[in-house]
Amino acid sequence: MNSPSAQFVTSRRIGVYDPIHQIGMWGENFKSNSNLNASASLIVEDVKLDSQSQDASHGTEGPSNQYDQEATKPTDKVQRRLAQNREAARKSRLRKKAYVQQLETSRLKLIQLEQELERARQQGLYIGGGLDAGHLGFSGTVNSGITTFEMEYGHWMEEQNRQICDLRNALNAHITDIELRMLVESGMNHYFELFRMKATATKADVFYMMSGMWKTSAERFFLWIGGVRPSQLLKVLGPQLNPMTKQQSLDVLNLEHSCQQAEDALSQGMERLQQTLADTVAAGQLSEGSCNRQMTNAMEKLEALRTFVGQADHVRKETLQQMLHILTIRQAARGLLALGEYFQRLRALSSLWATRPREPA
Amino acid sequence: MDKVTRLVSEKGIVIFSKSSCCMCYAVIILFKELGVKPLVHEIDEDPEGREIEKALMRLGCNAPVPAVFIGGTLVGSTNEVMSLHLKG
């Protein structure tokens, strides 16, 4: 930027770098993002210098001699001007990119806040307290593992809705089995993805998982060890599968039976856990020392809770996989669609319930 | 280790458990629901409990209990038991 006159001349010649136009563009960005403050004023300065120096150096010479002047100017000044143009354009692109990224982050934050608000409304604004050091902790600290889970769950849900639509269209359009298989497999993998997410989140906060905090209220009504009852999955799938072969009916019946047994076993294990935890917390002398011991014992018991949530998810996953083995692709597709729609409707029910007209107090 | 081998060859289904472990309890309940009576060995009530625990870990169990043996062979822990059960 040491030869303003040359710059001005070059810009006239090339007509690419139009100072006035640039100002307009920058002005826009300048208004919406104060980071551009510095650069905008720099450009303005540039143009001011241009007009000043033009008066100075072209003082006695008229505009008609302009082109003669250009021919004798050294080309490296032209090059420098070009380079500066490129640099400015590059910086402009980078700033635009940063601005857009800022917008994206804010958008995600907004979605997250909206979700939290919705949940808080559904729970009647009951936050903290019984949820210990959970997501909306009493002290206001945020559990990053849970925040991540909730964001990922939001994306998972969007994808889930898309997949349900695709399945519905596919079944109505009578596509080939091969194409259907792809849809079924991505549907199954999508559920497995959810189990993986849950496993990570359970490490962050098991009570959050046990309370099903990420689910809508109607879904939470059916909560069993951090999720859906495996037997419930089968009950939803069942009616969709007819007609079935004799062997299939038998296999499904056996699976239902096994599933129920596994569920009962885990339920009884959970009951025992609750009982022993209660006993541990209740059993206590009044001395200080035994209180600490008590707490240590209780903490150990709580560790077992994580195992149960993990095991419950394992049973859910295995149940789904077993169903896939038994069914044809078309049956599996219908089953997945039914399952997906079932939960969609539950979620819709939650929203309806939350927004129903309340009786006057 | 010898004790483990000896115990598992004694009867059809042998489960190593801890009396304080509720998941072990769940697995035992499952077998009972199937009408089976497994031989349950509470290793926290066994003076050689620590040795048994180490042996089980060496056999590849991430969590020493519950460890389920059928016909002398290690089936695994809760995960394996549940998977096998659901497969029929």
Domain boundaries, chain B: 3-86
Q: What is the CA radius of gyration of chain A?
A: 33
pLDDT of A16: 46
Of all residues in chain B, the one with the smallest CA distance to A314 is B79
Contact A202, A128 (CB under 8 A): no
Q: What is the pLDDT of residue B56?
A: 82
Nearest CA in chain A to B81: A262
Closest CA to A189 of A327, A311, A320: A320
Question: What region does A358 belong to: left with phi over 0, alpha with psi -120 to 50, or beta?
Answer: beta
CB contact under 8 A, A261 and B23: no
For the range A106-109, what are the long-range contacts, defined as Cβ-Cβ under 8 Å and sequence gap of 24 or more?
A: A108/A151
Residue with the bigger pLDDT between A329 and B88: it is A329
Q: Is the pLDDT confidence value at B55 over 70?
A: yes
pLDDT confidence tier of residue B37, bands split at 50, 70 and 90: confident
A33 touches chain B (CB under 8 A): no
For chain A, 361 residues long, give each residue's pLDDT as a single digit of tens: 444 444 444 444 444 444 444 444 444 444 444 444 444 444 444 444 444 444 444 444 444 445 555 555 678 888 899 999 999 999 999 999 999 988 888 888 888 888 888 777 666 544 433 344 444 443 344 678 888 899 999 999 999 999 999 999 998 888 888 889 999 999 999 999 999 999 999 988 889 999 999 999 899 999 999 999 999 999 988 888 878 888 888 989 999 999 999 999 999 999 999 998 888 888 765 555 667 777 887 888 888 899 999 999 999 999 999 999 889 888 999 999 999 999 999 999 999 988 888 776 6
Max distance between CA atoms of chain A, in angstroms, equals 105
**pTM, entire model:** 0.66
Cβ neighbors of A66 (< 8 A, separation 6 or more) are A9, A12, A58
Which residues 286-325 in chain A show a CB within 8 A of chain B? 304, 307-308, 311, 314-315, 318-319, 322
Report the C-alpha dihedral over residues B44, B45, B46, B49, rounded to 10 degrees: 10
Model confidence at B39: pLDDT above 90: no
Pick the CATH number of B3-86 from 3.30.450.20, 3.40.50.2000, 3.40.50.720, 3.40.30.10: 3.40.30.10
Q: How far apart are CA A196 and CA A152, in angstroms?
A: 11
State residue A184's pLDDT score: 92
Contact between A294 and A283 under an 8 Å Cβ cutoff? The reply is yes
What torsion do the CA atoms of A197, A200, A206, A208 make, to the nearest 10 degrees? -40
Task: Name, in order, each residue with C-beta under 8 angstroms of A38's C-beta and a sequence gap of 6 or more.
Answer: none
* Mutation target among A318, A319, A320, A321 for the B interface, most CBs of B within 10 A: A318
Asked if B22's CB is within 8 angstroms of A264's CB, the reply is no
State how far Cα A48 lies from the chain centre.
48
pLDDT at A13: 45
